[in-house]
Structure 1
């Protein structure tokens, strides 16, 4: 017997590489800002996130007064070159994600390699919108770093 849950997508794999015209330290600081207090939705709505930037630290949406959504746990952090986070991210159902931001110094510029992989019963609407969402977030990191350079 096949249920509706069995018909859902069971994996995601998204890879993106962007070039940032800013030194690696500025790109890394912009990444931390985007993962934390500067995060917002593509329509401009604030997305109040907190990142505890140490191994085992939480990454969560902070709605105030002890409410919010757990998105993940910092698995690896090696400033200013690597952050990896594991958890459900924006998906509040049985799913596990691994997200990686790898920064590579290229003189006065930085290459940012992004990877998001997930397994589980992934809602089709999430699967459809996740790529444009990450592209927006990466664009915000690039814009913030280049403005600071």
Structure 2
């Protein structure tokens, strides 16, 4: 592969999902119950034991495979409960990289519900499929395939 055929640039997406629950409940599910709503088909390991989000600056967002094995998805940059979570991660060649990703998740109360807004930017090796894949991934994670479904199933 020649260097000219590799696209280097920035892909940026924004996704909003409304969850019928108070912001504190959505925040708790986001940072404390991640392993309960993280979709099984999003795991990259063959036999994951769980998905963990350490909600503190410098904390990890990772798959735990047991026995000190796993995959680091992000490092936590900013935690401002119950409103803001900022993350940074790296994409290796196995996942379309080399690239770096930064994501900002904000939770805003709106009429008894919570609007979860995700802003994600990937810079490095990107192509025309990067933005659509990111957008669809975040919609699934935050929406009916992940966080929204988990919270709304448990909220009367």
* TM-score interval, smaller chain: 0.7 to 0.9
TM-score by length of 2: 0.78
**Structure 1 runs of 4+ with >6 Å offset:** 43-47
Gaps of 5+ in 1: none
Indicate yes or no: 2:129 matched with 1:130: no
> For residues 49 and 91 of structure 2, what CA distance do their matches in structure 1 show?
13
Gaps of 5+ in 2: none
- 1:48-68 Cα distance to aligned partner (Å, 9 max, x none): 321111011111121111111
| RMSD value, Cα | 2.9
Q: 1:7 deviation in Å? A: 2.6
> For residues 124 and 47 of structure 1, what CA distance do their matches in structure 2 show?
34
> For residues 28 and 37 of structure 1, what CA distance do their matches in structure 2 show?
14
- Contact 1:84-1:100 at 8 Å conserved across structures: yes
- Name which of 103, 117, 122 aligns with 2:121: 117
TM-score by length of 1: 0.81
> For residues 4 and 128 of structure 2, what CA distance do their matches in structure 1 show?
11
What aligned pairs does 1:67-146 form with structure 2 within 5 A after superposition? 67-88=69-90, 91=95, 93-122=97-126, 128-139=132-143, 140-146=146-152
Aligned length: 148
